[in-house]
Structure 1
Amino acid sequence: MSLRSVFSRFGRKLSSEQPKTWLVHTTSECKLHNHSEFQLRVSNSAISTEDISWLLRFFEQRVSQGEKFRSGESLQVGWMFTMLEDGPGGFLRVLEPDMKVVPVKFVDSVDGTLMHLRNQRDVVGSLFPPAEPDFPSLRQSAVVHVNYKDASRVLLTRSAAVDGADSGWWLSDLDDQAGSQDPTRFVKTSLYQLGIDRPDLVKFFAVPAELQVAVDGARISVLGPDGELQQIPGSYLSELNKLRQQRASLTAPSSEG
């Protein structure tokens, strides 16, 4: 399947499956500029009010600067590709890919958009020396090892993108050292497909070029040209590593007996 065909049915929205409790958030200042207000639907209680407010302000600021949005238009937020749709009451609803199927289907939600944005920002914000997130687009391509769906030890390498269709990401299987130099062991896919198949890796997609992310058992490390980057104590990545190590110690076989 070509990368283009992955996104060939934009606007097709899932008609069923809505999670339990939804909260609806709306902008309030767009009407001052003779523009429709925006509506966001959120169900994940882990999403902070700060992040919801940020997205609402984002739309209000764009409108205040003279930008006009219409139903059927697309908009990138972080790495996520969102769509706008006319909703009841004259609102513009913000839709996102369901992150479940190819071709893409859209749902009336911003749960994934905001969670991915927060996690990707927090991963990069965990690093010292400081770095800025470099958000790719889920429509861009990545090169992956043929075992990428099941590989438990992976190395994500990001190079400068060669063109606008390329994210720069390359995924290697650390357990296939012999095949790491064999081009027949790698295939190209969309970053969206990679996110569907390996949702555990999405949080790393905004790590900037010239860095690598090694996911090796209980440890996640970020590597630069001069070696491993420090993780700020108490940061998202530092705490994630602590949690992974705790889980690993609970599942490790006992040496007693």
Structure 2
Amino acid sequence: MTVLRTDLRKRYNHPDILIQVDDSWVQLADWLPRYFTEQVQQGVHFVPGQLVQVGWMLLRIEDNAEGCLFVSEPDLKSMPIQWSVGATRTVRLLALHRAICDELCVNLEFRSLREALSTTTEVPPNNEFYLTRTEAEGSNSGWILHRHNEAELRLMSLYEAALINNAIIPFLALPTGSAVVRNEDRLTVSVGGLELSSESSPLFRHLATADNFLDRY
């Protein structure tokens, strides 16, 4: 593990912020200290318990006995959210979301994991689902997760739905109008008139053959 550290105390009399990241993801996380520094330059004062949205994920600010702040992230295992030290999952997922949106030539459009998703009474499994995105409204993200175009839907948080079916996580930065269809080992993603599948895209083929997305990526 590598701990990235800001230099806020000397420059701005603000507690330094520590960001723990797995060694293999450090290069993709080096912007985080700069982000916190820029926020402090603009007058933001980070305090314990504060939540910071990074992509789809949230980072929680915590403090330690040395007077520094550090970040924790959801463990993607527990409901309600259990927090674990570091930002590796956040950085990994942000990189994957960027790769998928680049593949489809669209911009990233994030909603918070605390926002609502519409889904069926029984959340569809990892290997068979339809995921579509409509216009967001208030705290409703606009995402709809179903299996056979069921009429009766209920609301749950994106985070809770992702715990039950983590195969939806890679696609949660796609823009309004996107549609994702998973049928066993076949995956099709369409948005803005462009359609790619696990047959035409190595990235989607990789995702389509994962029984548990979090174990694969």
TM-score under structure 2 normalisation?
Answer: 0.85
8 Å CA contact 1:30–1:64 kept in 2: the answer is no
Higher relative contact order (CA 8 A, sep 6+): 1
Q: 2:201 aligns with which of 227, 238, 244?
A: 238
Contact 1:30–1:36 (CA under 8 A) maintained in structure 2: yes
Give, in whole Å, the separation in 1 of the partners of 2:126 and 2:179: 17
1:23 deviates by 2.6
**How big is the shift at 1:94?**
0.6
1:161–1:60 distance in 2 versus 1, CA, 3 Å? same
**Contact 2:187–2:205 (Cα < 8 Å) also in 1:** no
Q: 1:70 aligns with which of 47, 59, 62?
A: 47
Establish whether residue 132 from structure 1 lines up as the match of residue 94 from structure 2: no
For the 8 Å contact 2:17–2:68, the answer to whether it is kept is yes
The runs of 5 or more residues in structure 1 that have no matched partner are: 1-21, 232-236, 248-257
Distance in 2 separating the partners of 1:81 and 1:238? 29
What's 2:195 paired with? 229
From 14, 20, 23, the equivalent of 1:41 is: 20
Q: What is the CA distance between 1:242 and its match in structure 2?
A: 3.8
Q: Secondary structure at the match of 2:201?
A: helix
By how many angstroms is 1:54 displaced?
1.3
Cα deviation, residue 89, structure 1 = 2.6
Post-superposition Cα deviations, 1:113-139, rounded to whole Å, max 9, x if no partner, equal 111111112111111xx2110111010
1:53 shift after superposition: 0.2
Task: Give the number of aligned pairs.
Answer: 209
Aligned residue in 1 for 2:213: none
Question: CA RMSD, aligned part only?
Answer: 2.4
Q: Secondary structure at the match of 1:55?
A: helix
Task: Render the CA deviation track for 1:28-47: whole Å, top value 9, x for unaligned.
Answer: 3553122111101223x542
1:141-220 mapped onto 2 (5 Å cutoff): 141-150=116-125, 152-163=127-138, 165-173=139-147, 176=148, 180-183=149-152, 186-220=153-187
User: Partners of 1:149 and 1:25 in 2: how far apart?
Assistant: 39
Query: Take 1:156 and 1:57, find their aligned partners in 2: how far apart are those partners?
Result: 35
Percent identical residues: 27
Moved over 6 A (4+): none
Q: Which runs of 5+ in 2 are unaligned?
A: 211-217
Contact 2:128 2:184 in 1 (8 A): yes
Which residue type is aligned with residue 79 of structure 1? W
